[in-house]
Amino acid sequence: MPYASREIHLVARPEGMPRPGDFRLVEREVADPGEGEVVVRNLLMSVDPYMRPRLAEAQALNVAMDGGAIGRVVASRNPAFAEGDIVRNGHGFRDYFASDGRGLQKLAPDPALPLSVYMHALGGTGFTAYGGLLEIGKLKDGEQVFVSTAAGAVGSVVAQIAKINGCYVVGSTGSDDKVRWLTDEAGIDVAINYKAGPIGKAVQAATPKGIDVYFDNVGGDHLDAALRRMNTLGRIAVCGMIAGYNGQPAPVTGLSAIIYSRVNIRGFVGTDFMHLYDQFRSDMTDWLKSGRVKYQETVLEGVDNAPAAFIGLMKGENAGKMLVRLAD
């Protein structure tokens, strides 16, 4: 019997901040699996800042959008997958999909942890934080660290790994609630509400010993603020530049610090350090179980809320990782 599915299409390329009318909910049936196929019921999907630039070109119009998800195999005619298998996949934004198995990654979730952590701390954002800080940022114990969007899915993991490594950690975020979470729960040294005043002055005051590693999720004024405080041979790991994603220009003027402080700025993606993956899984599982890495989730219910989740993420309305739960 076919599966009644709903999916989210991009129907217009957003100008500036995406709006609900840029997306459409479409109902369709997913047929029973053919020979060699599986049908997957998505359980959780992710919305992430990297999706915004894709809407300008890479994401096709009038088809289901792509995005990270975790689902359960509900029917299988592929010997590599059994009914009930939990699979990580890139086919978010839809309830059901059929697959020949390519691109599906079987997950053996630790029963002592909620499945949702595999969408953030033990998923792509956690791995991005781990490798970005340790491999790209070349973090050394006890260094001075600044991380932007420090209460977000990537930033909160970066900040806590830096603390585990004995660093002095300053984070920026966009609300007083998030400031409190960062200092009281995540245990960082100084949390800055960047909406409360000029970020440059706040970063200067918070970093009396300068900055050895800046983990950049923002670009623009945050990058300028960090550049002005970089110590000699400092590293800037560029994970994202959300300041420029929605069309507003985010010029940077302080780049001459690159010369004076011999700074290394490096953009990266997770595939740049796949050799760290097993170590990451092991470390992060331990840290989550022991409570040394804490997290927040903002979970909306139902695929019809995926556009709202994405727009809310762009506006910073999430606390921690923004997820959509499609089914239990």
Give the footprint of a copy of itself on this chain (CB under 8 A): 53, 219, 223, 238-241, 244-245, 249-253, 255-269, 272
Closer residue to a copy of itself in complex, CB, 245/295: 245
Q: Which helix (H) or strand (E) holds 257?
A: helix 257-260
CB of 277 to a copy of itself, least distance (A): 18
CB of 217 to a copy of itself, least distance (A): 10
DSSP 244: G
Q: How far, in Å, are 85, 223, 239, 260, 322 from residue 125 at the CA level? A: 23, 20, 10, 32, 11
User: Dihedral (C-alpha) 252, 216, 119, 39: value to the nearest 10 degrees?
Assistant: 40
Q: Are 76 and 104 in contact (CB under 8 A)?
A: no
Please tell me the distance from the alpha carbon of residue 234 to that of residue 157, in angstroms, as a whole number: 20
Closer residue to a copy of itself in complex, CB, 148/261: 261
CB of 259 to a copy of itself, least distance (A): 4
Q: Phi and psi of 145, rounded to 5°?
A: -125, 135
CB of 98 to a copy of itself, least distance (A): 31
CB of 191 to a copy of itself, least distance (A): 25
Closer residue to a copy of itself in complex, CB, 51/241: 241
Please tell me the distance from the alpha carbon of residue 68 to that of residue 46, in angstroms, as a whole number: 6
Closer residue to a copy of itself in complex, CB, 114/244: 244
Closer residue to a copy of itself in complex, CB, 39/129: 129
